[in-house]
Amino acid sequence: MANEIEQKIREEAKRLLESGEVTLVIGWKAGSMPFKTTPAFVRSADEVDRLVWNPACTNNLAVYLPQVAKRAKVAVVAKPCDSRSIVTLIQEKQVPRENVKIIGVTCSGIVDDASLKAAKIRLQDVHGLDWDGESILIGTPAGKAKLPITDAVREGCKTCTVHAPVMSDVAFGDAPEVNAAPVEPMEGSFEEKRAFWAKQFERCIRCYACRQVCPACYCNKCFADRPDTKWTSKKADASEAWMFHMGRAMHLAGRCIGCGECERACPMELPIMKLNREVALHVQEMYDYTPGMDPEADPVLGHWEPEDVDPNGHH
């Protein structure tokens, strides 16, 4: 399954580069080890064999587009998540549609390092990674370990309902049948949630990995980089980090497509997606809106109807 899609990606990349339709193809290539991939910037047809596709292709490649696709024709390999981010970027006029060739791939979820820990497999021992419809196959010194995909994938992948790219110029693979778990709102009282987050934000070191991996965080100047405005200082204490993360979550309302990259990128393991999911649930409930599905749709918070629900409950 893996190799077939991988082969098609390479062929398409080759065709696009050779025909001159694009000057750059962004995909994934092998990383430090089988459980890691790294973004690949392929500029010539003889380099397309570096491109890979597997369940470790975690980076949401849409993040590069506002920088590279403004003035040049590029192709990008897009998982369903990546394709939804591209939709958002087109919708928000950050990327001209005509500059991007989207090589879509279907996806049954991205593997999570933590699942290895649960399976008692040390990352340094992993020497291979493969998968079929239902399982992840991990090469270890003790032979191939098999993990059901549903166990091996990230939290956010378990509730994902979009397994095929929503926008693409070509798409490879069949959309897998996955029974998505329902998204549950955070439990507990207001005070409990507050205490939970206060504890989490203590760890934030303000490295902004969460913001930088996020395709929706493309602001030229983030409010957190404006100490003169005093929205939030550069201190890494819980209350300042609180302001940053809550501010970011609010700015992502109706825009976050839930790829989970921010949470994965966080070196301090902050459960950032808990916030984003919560906000997304509210947006869904209040406005019946799912971001990143339709490039023609008005951005939900950039649009107002008299009958819109008032988030504060006043009509």
Partner 1 sequence: MPDKVISKNDLRQWLVSLMADHDVIAPVDRGAGPAAWKDIDGKEEIEIGTNGLLMAAKEYLLPVHDVLFRYKGKKGEQILEAPEMSTKPKLMIGLRLCDARAISVLDSVYLEGRFRDPYYAARRENLTLMATVCDDPRWSCFCTSVGDLNEWAKTVDALITDLGDKVYVAPVTEKSAKLLSSPAFKEPTEEDVKKKTQVWENLLALPKQPFAGKDISQSVSWDDPIWKDMADRCLGCGACSYQCPSCTCFDIQDDTVGNTIERYRCRDTCQFSDFTRMGAGHNPRPEKTMRTRQRVMHKFKYQMEQFNMIGCTGCGRCVESCPVNIDLREVLSKITEQKL
Give the nearer residue to partner 1 in terms of CB position, either 41 or 223. 41
- Taking the C-alpha atoms of residue 46 and residue 14, their distance in angstroms, rounded to an integer, is 8
In the shown chain, the binding pattern of residues 4 to 43 toward partner 1, with x for contact by CB under 8 A and - for none, equals ---------------------------xxx--xxxx-x--
Q: Which stretch binds partner 1 (CB under 8 A): 76-84, 116-124, 168-176, 245-253?
A: 116-124
Q: Alpha-carbon distance 57 to 35, whole Å?
A: 9
Q: CB of residue 78 vs partner 1: minimum separation in angstroms?
A: 16
Closest distance between partner 1 and the C-beta of residue 180, in Å? 25
- Render 231-296 in DSSP notation, one character per residue: SS-S--SHHHHHHHHHHHHHHTTTT-----HHHHH-TT---HHHHHHHHHHHHHHHH---TTS-TT
Q: State the Cα–Cα distance between residues 59 and 65, nearest whole angstrom.
A: 13
With residue 152 as reference, give the H or E element that holds it.
helix 149-152
Q: Among residues 124, 179, 189, 312, which is the contact residue for partner 1, using CB under 8 A?
A: 124
Half-sphere exposure of 68 (CA within 13 A, CB side): 21
Q: Kindly tell me which of 8 and 36 has the beta carbon lying closer to partner 1.
A: 36
**Which are the contacts of 315, defined by CB distance < 8 A and separation ≥ 6?**
none
Pick from 52, 63, 76, 162: which binds partner 1 (CB under 8 A)?
63
C-beta closer to partner 1: residue 166 or 241: 241
Residue 202 engages partner 1 in binding (rule: CB under 8 A): yes
Cβ atoms within 10 A of the Cβ of 299, count?
Answer: 14
Q: Does 243 bind partner 1 (CB under 8 A)?
A: no
Q: Which of residues 247-266 bind partner 1 (CB under 8 A)?
A: 261, 264-266
Nearer to partner 1, 58 or 290 (CB): 58
CB-CB contact of 89 with 65 (8 Å): yes
- Please report, as ranges, the residues that interact with partner 1 according to CB under 8 A: 31-33, 36-39, 41, 59, 63, 122-124, 200, 202-203, 205-209, 211-213, 225, 227, 230, 233-237, 261, 264-271
